[in-house]
Amino acid sequence: MDAAFERAVVTLACCRPKFFGRTAFEVNPALLSSETAKLAMEAARAIFHDTKQGPESLLMVIQRLQTWRYEGKVTQEKVALVSDLFDDALDAGLASVEAIEAELLPILKRRIDKQVALAAADAYGKKQDFDNVVSLIDRKARLGINDSNMGIRLGRQSFKAMDELRQLVRIPTGIDDLDVFLDGGCPRGSLLVWIAGPGGGKSMALSHSSATSLRQGMHCAYATLELPEAVVAARIKSNLTGLPINSILQGGQDKAKELLERIDKLGTLTIKEFTPHATSIEDIAEWVKSVEDDVGYAVDKLSIDYLDKCVSFATKTQAGNDYISMREVYEKARIYGVDHKNVVETASQSQGRSEKKSKKIDLEHTADSMHKVRVADIVITNNYDEDSGEMGFWVAKHRTGNSRRMIGPLPTDFSCGQVAPVNRTFVPLADYLERLKAGTPDPAWVKVVEDVMITDATGALKK
């Protein structure tokens, strides 16, 4: 490789996890011409070996080299040379990952082709099977396409803990009184539909529910056909941290990140924006599969905001017929949940209701197609009172349990992503006292615990 190109490849490999996991992991440091580039790539590979994730920043690589320096493996001069290499690459301007891969992939694939030829000849001469040859061919096919990173995961949830969560029969909505009535939440393999009028908290219910699952260490996917990804992410972060949505959107990301890192069992959430009225359930299912492949674990909850904005092309002669189309869309979503043993939830617009303020939204107020509520397993309607700021949740349908019950009204705080009160965490009193003994909590941590319910040794709740 050209010296400048080699420098760019190594620098990108040391700060772009996706590039490393998809392509650069195949670069053998021993084949690089520069000793400094070799050292940088060896550090990147060591980070990948330990974390199953390519380095996210050049600082991580320098820190790994500093650790090696303390261990007597490298000198300070060599660490300084790697830092200079990164600086030179950045000063020269890095090409895009796509442009680098366009030049690098043919080189890496030719090297694999050579290995295939040698392995095939060796296996043939020794009358052995060709398993190693097949493995090399598969490695070549995956190069530049499949990401070998385990995936970016919020929190420190282990796969063993995730396996335990997969055994949970029901997944809570995060509205405590409602979950009690639903015998613990939504059964796996079910379709939950939230129904409300404009501004009635439909999308907020989805983000509230997603935040609850995320707080419990679950793997969630959120397909939005309504709101930008950043807004959805801000709502969920707001629910988790108690920071107002607007403060997060207006520069409070660092504060939100700091508070999120203190949640012990934070699962994984991936959000993607799709084109409304041009996206099918198959498109979303394909995306979820790629998310699962990237993270390495099945999705527990799929939120779609909204299924009403998806399309079905199963019957072209009925295209444009919302009544028929919605039946197909909702049936496909429910079948997906059954097949994958997860909960699929969505929201739908209600049509106009009586002028009487006390009248609740019910099944007959469903807009466009009654097929939606016929297909759904659970239908909850949001009944928001603007004067009191409280929300009543009418269980309009519950296929496997009791229904026709109003839960609430409960206080809401839309500014912090809540359609109902949130218990962000429970801290054992003994643990809290130990933290106090260890040193004065920083102001940010104190701000968090002000709203936390703390349990004593007997389980009694204390402020």
Q: What is each CA distance from 392 to 144, 343, 419, in whole angstroms?
A: 51, 23, 10
Residue 323 has pLDDT above 70, yes or no: no
Q: Where are the alpha helices (DSSP H) in 155-201?
A: 159-166, 176-181
**420 near 391, Cβ under 8 Å?**
yes
Query: What average pLDDT does this structure show over 427-446?
Result: 51
Query: What average pLDDT does this structure show over 90-107?
Result: 89
User: What pLDDT sits at residue 362?
Assistant: 84
How many CA atoms does the CB half-sphere of 408 hold within 13 Å? 26
When mean pLDDT is compared across 27-31, 106-110, 206-210, 448-452, the lowest value belongs to 448-452
Of the pLDDT bands very low, low, confident and very high (cuts 50, 70, 90), residue 22 is: confident
pLDDT tens figures, 364-421: 887 667 888 899 999 999 999 989 999 999 999 999 888 999 999 999 999 999 999 9
User: What pLDDT sits at residue 302?
Assistant: 97
When mean pLDDT is compared across 288-292, 319-323, 438-442, 456-460, the lowest value belongs to 456-460
CA 145/CA 58 separation, integer angstroms: 24
User: What pLDDT sits at residue 111?
Assistant: 87
User: What pLDDT sits at residue 160?
Assistant: 55
All structural domains of the chain, each given as residue ranges with its CATH number in brackets, are: 3-142 (1.10.860), 159-416 (3.40.50.300), 426-462 (no CATH)
pLDDT tens figures, 224-281: 999 999 999 999 999 999 899 999 999 888 888 888 887 777 889 999 999 998 899 9
pLDDT tens figures, 332-360: 999 999 999 999 999 998 876 543 444 78
User: What pLDDT sits at residue 223?
Assistant: 94
DSSP, collapsed to helix, strand or coil, labels residue 305 as strand
CA 138/CA 134 separation, integer angstroms: 6
**349 near 309, Cβ under 8 Å?**
no
For residue 427, give the DSSP letter: E
Residue 322 has pLDDT above 70, yes or no: no
Residue 37 has pLDDT above 90, yes or no: yes
Chain Cα centroid distance, residue 23: 23
The kind and range of the H/E element at 109 are helix 97-125
Over pLDDT 70: what percentage of the chain? 81
**151 near 294, Cβ under 8 Å?**
yes
Which of 455, 451, 440 shows the shortest CA–CA distance to 413? Answer: 451
What is the phi-psi region of residue 408: left when phi exceeds 0, alpha when psi lies from -120 to 50, beta otherwise? left
Other CB atoms within a 10 A radius of the CB of residue 315 amount to 11
Sign of CA dihedral 234, 240, 246, 247: negative
Residue 167 has pLDDT above 80, yes or no: no
The values of phi and psi at residue 428, to 5°, are -60, 135
Of the pLDDT bands very low, low, confident and very high (cuts 50, 70, 90), residue 315 is: very low
Other CB atoms within a 10 A radius of the CB of residue 404 amount to 10
